[in-house]
Every structure is written in C-alpha cells, then in structure tokens.
Amino acid sequence: MEKTNKMTTGKVSGIIANLVYVEVDGPVQQNEICYIDLEGTKLMAEVIKVMGTKAYVQVFESTRGLKMHNKVEFTGHLLEVTLGPGILSKNYDGLQNDLDKMEGVFLQRGEQTNPLEDDKKWEFKPIAKEGDILQAGGWLGEVTENWMPHKIMVPFKFKGKYTVKSVAKEGKYTIKDVIAVVTDEEGKEIELTMTQKWPVKLAIKAYKEKPRPFKLLETGVRVIDTLNPIAEGGTGFIPGPFGTGKTVLQHALSKQAEADMIIMAACGERANEVVEIFTEFPELIDPRSGRKLMERTTIIANTSNMPVAAREASVYTAMTIAEYYRAMGLKVLLLADSTSRWAQALREMSNRMEELPGPDAFPMDLPAIISSFYSRAGFVYLNNGNTGSITFIGTVSPAGGNLKEPVTESTKKAARCFYALSQQRADSKRYPAIDPLDSYSKYAEYAEVEEYFRKKIDPEWPEKLSLLRNVLTRGREVAEQINILGDDGVPVEYHVTFWKAEVIDFIILQQDAFDEVDSSTSLERQKYMVNKVLDIYHTKFSFESFEEVATYFKRVINQMKQMNYSEFESDKFKQNEKELKTIIDEKKAE
C-alpha cells in the first residue's frame, strides 16, 4: 500500500454542486481520497471516475466559494477508517470524525477530528505467545473497552503468516505504543500498535468460513421473533411508507436485541431521531448486561442535512466497524436507517455525471451495489475457532410507498428477511405495522433453524407457527367475506374465526413500543402467550348471534392486553390471567 513516489496533485477544472473535476498531474486510483484546498480549508473528496487526466471527485462538504484552479492533493489511499479501542460509545459522522470533539454549534467545513484517543491508557493483557503463528485478524492481546474484551489483532491488511516475536506484558498502554512485534515469512520484523486502518469499501475477510446462519437472534419484538425470526448473522430489511414505524422498530431492535454490540447508521434521516438515541441510551439499561445501553452502542450519524456524499460513506464506515468487532468474536447488530437515502445519494451523483440512468434515474449498478453490501453481513467461524456475527437490518423508504421501486426490489433480492410495513396497519394504529402475511423470514425455512427452535423453544414450535399463520390467513379471508356479504350474510362461526385471528393480531402481533413492559418480550414469554392464544383458538365457544361475538372477543382482547402490560408472572399478571379464564369459561361450549 505504501507509496514512495511523489503524491499526485491537481487543479480544479469544473464544479457542479459537490461534483468537481480535477485536472491531475500523475496517477490516481479509483476511489482515492484527495483534499481540495479552499483558501486553507481542506475539503475531503473521493475519486469516482477518471477520464484521461481528468478525475471526477465527489466532495464530502459544501463546495461554496470553490474556484477554478484551486489546488488538489491526492493521498494515495482509499477512504479508510481507523480501528482500535475507543470506538465503542462514540458518535461519529459518516467519515468517522468524532462529533463530540468538534468545536462550536455548527459543523465547520473541513474540520476533522480524531476517531480515537491517542493518550488514553488501556489495560492490556497478552493473548498470543512468542512463537505463535498468526494471520490477519489473529488475536495478540486484549483490552477492556467499557466492559467488553476488545481484541488487539494482526492488521487485516497483512497477507500470509506471521510469527509472534514478542507481546507486551500486562500493563497500561496507549494505542500508539508498540504492543507486539511479529516477523513475516521473509523474516522482516514489524512492530504493531493497537490501531490499524482499513478501506471501508472492501470487506474484511479475516475468517475461516461463513456457514448458513442457524441460531435465532432474539429481538424482543414478537412479530419478528415468533412469526418472522431473524437469525444471528442474518440480513433483513424494513420497507415502508413514511410514518409506518421503520425508525421506531429499529430503535426497539437497538434497545432490546440480544447482541454484544449495536452499530446504528443514521443515514440521511432526521437529526432529532439521533438526538433521541444520544439522550436516551446513556440512561437506559440493557437488561441482559445490566449496563447502560450506550456502553454497547456506536452511532454513525450522517443525517439528511449533512453532506450528501458522506451518506454513502456512512453505511460502509458502519459495516467496516461491524466487521472489526466481529473479528473479535462478538455478536454485532448493524442497523441502517435508511438505505434509500444512500441510494439517492448515488443517484444524485450519477445524474450530475450524466451517466445513462437505470429505472427511476437510479444508477444501473444499484442492485449489485446493494447486494454486495448485504453480503458483508453473516455468521463466521474465525481462524482461531471462535465465532462472530454481523446481523444487518436496513430500512427502505420507497417513493410514494410503492414497493415496486428499484431500491426495494434490489434489496429484496439481497436480504433474507422482509418486514413489510403496511400503511393500512399503521393508519389503524396496529403497531408495529409489520404485515404478518406479506412479510417473511427465509431463515424460518432452514432445517438447522427449525431444529434449533425445537430444541430451544418447543418441540412443536414450527407447527405452532404455521398454525398461527393459517389462522391469520383464514381471518383475513373471512373478513373479506363478511365485507362482501354483510355481518348477517355469513354464519356466526365465521365471526368466531375472524375474532380468533384478531386475538392473535392484538396480543401477539401488536406491541406497544412505548410501554415499559410490553415493548420487549422474552422468548419464554412469547412462547407462553402463543400457547395462550392457541388455547383460545382451540376452544369451542357458543354464541347466539354475531353481535355477541364481537363484544365478547373485545373483552377477551382487553383482558389479554392487561396481561401484556403486566410484568411476566407477577401477581398482576396472574390476576389478569385468572380473570381471563373466567371470561373464557363464560362462553365455552360444553
């Protein structure tokens, strides 16, 4: 990677918003980073196309005041992030600048801040011993970051095998101190510190193997865990018109999901939504670790008013950080809201470059870009036998709420779970508005996942789930018939079928994200409630008229909601359950 020859320079030869043409005097690489000098302010930019001596660069800042012939310096490297202890709990922008270190209320053009702390001392413990043979990603030692063991690894850029010559003794070191010396295959000695750099657009592949995901990743969201489960290391996406609950759902996942680390990429959405996380996460407790949520979270904030070109960078920055932590053997959950904004940033640039547009003026290679990004997620076996994972869930904001648009369609091909938010459900406040029947999880069909369910939850879990789905489908069909034929145009039995499906809808599918108890449901409790609603489904009731049916089931639902609102197995819960039984017994057929 190192370059010894003189760095290429250039001069601005054209400006259209944040697309700048640069006349260069030497070699340039595709995606190379350069800095444009605007009266002393350095504007960071990335090469996105080269034609002869003309480089097209996208500038990550406003180009206001930029002039012809302004000087440009090329750096010889691609867009990189710095990896090392200190990333956890940080608030970065899309280019990994630490937002908290920036001065003033407003973002200043050209201001760059250190993503890590150079003089902070970390308690280091060696893992590798002299003579060990390691490759890229091999563990040399660890420090404690917040409360997590943070592995110090052989840099990912290293190719081949390295012999450990020495590892620093247990003690306090900064990220700049040498903590190990290794020798390469030619016997050359290399000193290593706790940090390394990696170009964000390339996947880190420091692992042995990537099997199909097979374990459930618990999220506490019933309609996901129970009906459309996502696997650890799996991929999913949440498309939905505005206001249907994409962000609320992602925030719920970030609070509750069973992961060691959460990375939130706020990509081109509202600043106040990020502020919500800044405000709440340092206070909220992660029930699994008993620690503050912020201690396991890193935020990449490139909100809609921040530079458009950095939106694209932000999702890659987030993914690279996720890969870094995965290589430490951790379970990482990566959330991106919204991947459509990233696609739109690509579109803006492609239009400025006057490229031949694909559907809806998006670039032609959009599907390929999206699928190669999703493919970076996954469950892996590391070279040392440990496992790590990145589960990735992105939101998609389809224009006009129409799912037949390029970003949704491309993502559908790439992601294995599809959580379709329905406008109709959102309008009737049936939150989370995930359509239970249109949505799917391909993982639920994997034999190894089914096996896992039978062992971990209930030997008959898969059968119960397909029954739930059938009841919901049947409920929907009956509802349509009632709509066409009228309440009294169908047998009373139809109303019972409809309302039994409503019980599942209200008690399992719907979940109040803002209620302390209801917002997160343990698997054990999900199983308990699924059995409860199925008991009701299996119960035979006797009714005189259809009018009676609706009134009765509303009482049942109301009573079961009280259960959902009470602490699992608390006295209140049991009391509500008892009252439910009384209600059920009232109408139970002999």
Q: Which is nearer to ligand ADP, 252 or 330 (CB)?
A: 252
Q: Which is nearer to ligand ADP, 278 or 381 (CB)?
A: 278
Cα dihedral 150/324/215/263 (nearest 10): 90
Q: Does 557 bind ligand ADP (CB under 6 A)?
A: no
Q: Which is nearer to ligand ADP, 273 or 365 (CB)?
A: 273
Q: Does 242 bind ligand ADP (CB under 6 A)?
A: yes
Nearest to residue 273, comparing CAs of 301, 253, 297, 309? 301
Beta-bridged to residue 197, according to DSSP, are 82
Q: Does 513 bind ligand ADP (CB under 6 A)?
A: yes
Q: How many CB atoms lie within 10 A of CB 161?
A: 15
Q: Does 467 bind another protein (CB under 8 A)?
A: no
- Looking at residue 197, its amino acid is K
Residues constituting the chain? 590
- Are 387 and 329 within 8 A, CB to CB? yes
Peptide bond into 338 cis (omega under 30): yes
Q: Does 553 bind ligand ADP (CB under 6 A)?
A: no
Q: Which residues contact 482 (CB under 8 A, 6 or more apart)?
A: 489, 490, 494, 495, 498
Q: How far is the CB of 492 from another protein (least distance, A)?
A: 13
Q: Which is nearer to Mg ion, 150 or 255 (CB)?
A: 255
- Are 92 and 104 within 8 A, CB to CB? no
Q: Which of 236, 240, 388, 475 binds ligand ADP (CB under 6 A)?
A: 240
Distance between CA atoms of residues 92 and 530, nearest Å: 41
Integer Rg of the chain from CA = 27
Q: Which is nearer to another protein, 246 or 525 (CB)?
A: 246
Q: Which of residues 84-143 bind ligand ADP (CB under 6 A)?
A: none
Q: Which is nearer to another protein, 205 or 561 (CB)?
A: 561
Q: Which does 245 bind (CB under 5 to 8 A by kind): Mg ion, another protein, ligand ADP, none?
A: ligand ADP
Strands 139-145 and 297-302: unpaired
Q: Which of residues 282-301 bind another protein (CB under 8 A)?
A: 301
Please give the structure tokens belonging to residue 71: 């000087």
Q: Which of 90, 151, 222, 246 binds ligand ADP (CB under 6 A)?
A: 246
Nearest to residue 323, comparing CAs of 264, 376, 382? 376
Distance between CA atoms of residues 22 and 447, nearest Å: 55
Q: Which is nearer to another protein, 190 or 557 (CB)?
A: 557
Q: Which of 9, 13, 29, 31 binds another protein (CB under 8 A)?
A: 13
Binding mask 221-260 for another protein (x = CB under 8 A): --------------------xxx-----------------
Q: Which residue has the tokens 């405000």?
A: 279
Q: Which of residues 302-331 bind another protein (CB under 8 A)?
A: 303-306, 308
Q: Which stretch binds another protein (CB under 8 A): 137-145, 269-277, 318-326, 458-466?
A: 269-277
Nearest to residue 333, comparing CAs of 438, 221, 444? 221
Binding mask 403-442 for ligand ADP (x = CB under 6 A): ----------------------------xx----------
Q: Which does 557 bind (CB under 5 to 8 A by kind): another protein, Mg ion, ligand ADP, none?
A: another protein
Q: How far is the CB of 196 from ligand ADP (least distance, A)?
A: 36
Q: Which of residues 511-570 bind another protein (CB under 8 A)?
A: 514, 546-547, 550-551, 554-555, 557-558, 561-562, 565
Please give the structure tokens belonging to residue 551: 């009134």
Q: How far is the CB of 557 from ligand ADP (least distance, A)?
A: 17
Nearest to residue 537, comparing CAs of 576, 583, 500, 587? 500
Q: Does 582 bind another protein (CB under 8 A)?
A: no
Q: Which residues contact 45 (CB under 8 A, 6 or more apart)?
A: 20, 33, 34, 35, 36, 57, 58, 59, 60, 72, 309
Distance between CA atoms of residues 98 and 12, nearest Å: 29
- Looking at residue 107, its amino acid is L
Q: Which of 278, 446, 537, 568 binds another protein (CB under 8 A)?
A: 278
Q: Which is nearer to another protein, 114 or 428 (CB)?
A: 428
Q: How far is the CB of 380 from another protein (least distance, A)?
A: 33
Q: Which stretch binds ligand ADP (CB under 6 A): 13-21, 484-492, 506-514, 578-586?
A: 506-514
Q: How far is the CB of 510 from ligand ADP (least distance, A)?
A: 8
Please give the angle made by the CA atoms of 475, 480 and 484, to the nearest 5 degrees. 145
Q: Which does 102 bind (CB under 5 to 8 A by kind): another protein, ligand ADP, Mg ion, none?
A: another protein
Binding footprint of ligand ADP on the chain (CB under 6 A): 240, 242-248, 431-432, 512-514
